[in-house]
Amino acid sequence: MGRTEMAPVRFAVIGTSRITERMLGESVFCPGFELAGVYSRSREKGAAFAGRYSRNGTCRVYGSLQELADDPGIDAVYVASPNACHAGQAVRMLESGKNVLCEKTLASNSREAETMFRAADAHGVLLTEGMRSIHTPGFRAVEENLVKLGTIRKARFSYCKYSSRYDAFRQGIPQNIFRTSCSAGALTDLGIYCIEPMVALWGKPARILSSSVMLPGMDGEDGADGAGTILAEYPGMTVELDYSKISDGYLPSEIEGEEGTMLIPAIDDVREITIRRRSTGTAAPAGADKEQETLRFQEGEADNLRYEIADFISAVRASAARKGQKAGVDRYRPVTLEAIRIADEVRRQCGIVFPADRDREQDSTGHTQTPAGQTAPEAEQGACTNEKH
Ligand SMILES: NC(=O)c1ccc[n+]([C@@H]2O[C@H](COP(=O)([O-])OP(=O)(O)OC[C@H]3O[C@@H](n4cnc5c(N)ncnc54)[C@H](OP(=O)(O)O)[C@@H]3O)[C@@H](O)[C@H]2O)c1
């Protein structure tokens, strides 16, 4: 049996922030995961990170993306850098034959996302977005229980959470997560957690209308969005999406049908759903509980990242077993692409421009093109040009 079918999938990580720590913490629940490499812009930081998370002490440290790309001992790369870096970094890894699990939002815009998927196909490897919420048993239950609601008429998904980095931003200290040069802001950070379940459940909307609350720009950059609302129209139903990084929201998400309503306390992390059916009889039901059903999932689990990692590992193994033919994870591709197209349209309506949208000197992966059309090797960070922080 070939090594990639049953042997651990050897991962390298790009980015050493809290999300990579969370992912590595969850990876212990994913059979077949092995941390084999860490890339950081600072080799020292990478070495310290590898020292903390390597389970067998054999994890390699790379100070350049090219070293990582050239390492045949890596099967898959987890990209967890700012959004603006994703395309450039992921394409470089895909082109070197590595499977890529790339954090949300997959790319700055749909043009970049399409280029990334083309690179994956051209090199017979997998690319999937780390949209953790739609890989969970809780989200599967949302899908399976929709039928109990009858004809769906309305839905409201909400993810409003005051960012721990907003205090510093308010004091005038720039934060990557509020920088358009990082393709960041509320839409790509939290709004996408509302958009993707909507697309996964109902596909492409007929029309959207959107409005954003804009923040001031810093360092000469355009400002990012701090909050926003999207109204999406589907035949016979509407969906309202609300997201914010500058205020807290306490309302649950909801899906309303003609026969019942589903309440979802957290759309980014579905651990519980309650279905309230409409009472159809004239007499009051003997027990109100008969009209209400609560389902719980993942009780006691700290995080839900394990499901996307496990799905990705199975798909990499299935793909290896079929000698490069993709399987499994690819069912998420249409959702990822449609969600990014919706985000593009929201940004068009609200005037949110990322440097990655307008950069005519670069190709859609963020790689600078040489006159011969070859990718310049110095494009170490993809489209990201920010200082380290
Ligand atoms: N799934 C989730 O729940 C979740 C949660 C949070 C974030 N995310 C996603 O994870 C990604 C990273 O978000 P984050 O908030 O952790 O970002 P971040 O702190 O700004 O950066 C993440 C890492 O990327 C590297 N980096 C930072 N600035 C860079 C730059 N200008 N150019 C190149 N590399 C840079 C740094 O690693 P080195 O210094 O080692 O190079 C840093 O540790 C984003 O796509 C975000 O949407 C997902």
Q: How far apart are CA 384 and CA 389, in angstroms?
A: 13
**What is the helix (H) or strand (E) element at residue 255, kind and residue range?**
strand 253-257
Confidence band of 383 (pLDDT split at 50, 70, 90) = very low
Q: How far apart are CA 5 and CA 336, in angstroms?
A: 27
Of 3-17, 73-87, 341-355, the one with minimum mean pLDDT is: 3-17
Token output for 243:
């997201």
- pLDDT tens figures, 144-202: 999 999 999 999 999 999 999 999 999 999 999 999 999 999 999 999 999 999 999 99
82 pocket-lining for ligand 1 (C-beta < 6 Å):
yes
Question: 186 near 227, Cβ under 8 Å?
Answer: yes
Confidence band of 376 (pLDDT split at 50, 70, 90) = very low
Q: How far apart are CA 81 and CA 102, in angstroms?
A: 9
Question: 339 near 199, Cβ under 8 Å?
Answer: yes
Residue of the nearest CA to atom 22 in ligand 1?
Answer: 81
Token output for 380:
């170490």
Token output for 259:
């026969």
40 pocket-lining for ligand 1 (C-beta < 6 Å):
yes
Residues in the chain: 389
Q: How far apart are CA 173 and CA 165, in angstroms?
A: 9
Average pLDDT of the segment spanning 60-84: 98
Percentage of the chain lying above the pLDDT 90 cut: 80
Confidence band of 370 (pLDDT split at 50, 70, 90) = very low
**DSSP state at residue 352:** -
88 pocket-lining for ligand 1 (C-beta < 6 Å):
no
pLDDT at 211 over 90: yes
Q: Give pLDDT, residue 177.
A: 97
Question: 76 near 317, Cβ under 8 Å?
Answer: no
Average pLDDT of the segment spanning 316-330: 74
Tell me which of 361 and 34 has the higher pLDDT.
34
Sequence-ordered list of residues with C-beta below 8 angstroms from that of 95, at least 6 positions apart, any chain: 69, 119, 122, 123
Q: How far apart are CA 79 and CA 371, in angstroms?
A: 29
Q: How far is CA 369 from CA 153, 215, 351, 374, in A?
A: 49, 33, 28, 6
Ligand 1 pocket mutation pick from 13, 14, 17, 245 by most atoms within 8 angstroms of CB: 17
- pLDDT tens figures, 106-146: 999 999 999 999 999 999 999 999 999 999 999 999 999 99
Sequence-ordered list of residues with C-beta below 8 angstroms from that of 133, at least 6 positions apart, any chain: 139, 193, 196, 197, 267, 268, 269, 270, 304
Q: How far apart are CA 279 and CA 289, in angstroms?
A: 11
Q: Give pLDDT, residue 245.
A: 98
Query: Read out DSSP for 175-217?
Result: -GGGBGGGT-SHIIIIIHHHHHHHHHHH-S-SEEEEEEEEPPP
Average pLDDT of the segment spanning 240-262: 98
pLDDT at 219 over 50: yes
Q: Ligand 1 mean position to 309 CA, how many Å?
A: 18
For the chain, the domains span 3-133+304-328, 137-296
**What is the CA 83 to chain-centroid distance, rounded?**
10
pLDDT at 240 over 50: yes
Nearest Cα to Cα of residue 129 among 78, 188, 57? 78
161 pocket-lining for ligand 1 (C-beta < 6 Å):
no
Confidence band of 62 (pLDDT split at 50, 70, 90) = very high
Q: How far apart are CA 157 and CA 232, in angstroms?
A: 11
Residue of the nearest CA to atom 19 in ligand 1?
Answer: 17
Architecture of the domain defined by 137-296: 2-Layer Sandwich (3.30)
Q: Give pLDDT, residue 286.
A: 56
Q: 172: alpha, beta or left, given left = phi > 0 and alpha = psi -120 to 50?
A: left
Kindly report whether the global pTM for this prediction surpasses the value 0.85: yes
Atom of ligand 1 nearest to the CA of 45: 40
CATH number belonging to domain 3-133+304-328: 3.40.50.720
**What is the CA 156 to chain-centroid distance, rounded?**
20
Average pLDDT of the segment spanning 236-261: 98
83 pocket-lining for ligand 1 (C-beta < 6 Å):
yes
- pLDDT tens figures, 284-299: 455 554 589 999 998 8
pLDDT at 323 over 60: yes
Q: Give pLDDT, residue 375.
A: 36
Confidence band of 389 (pLDDT split at 50, 70, 90) = very low
Average pLDDT of the segment spanning 236-260: 98
What 3-state DSSP class applies to 237? strand
| Residue with token string 């399409």 | 114
Confidence band of 324 (pLDDT split at 50, 70, 90) = low
Token output for 342:
């919706």
Q: Ligand 1 mean position to 261 CA, how many Å?
A: 37
pLDDT at 384 over 70: no
Q: Give pLDDT, residue 298.
A: 85
Q: Give pLDDT, residue 57.
A: 81
Query: Read out DSSP for 91-117?
Result: HHHHHTT-EEEEESS--SSHHHHHHHH
Ligand 1 pocket mutation pick from 14, 16, 18, 19 by most atoms within 8 angstroms of CB: 19
Residue of the nearest CA to atom 6 in ligand 1?
Answer: 19
189 pocket-lining for ligand 1 (C-beta < 6 Å):
yes
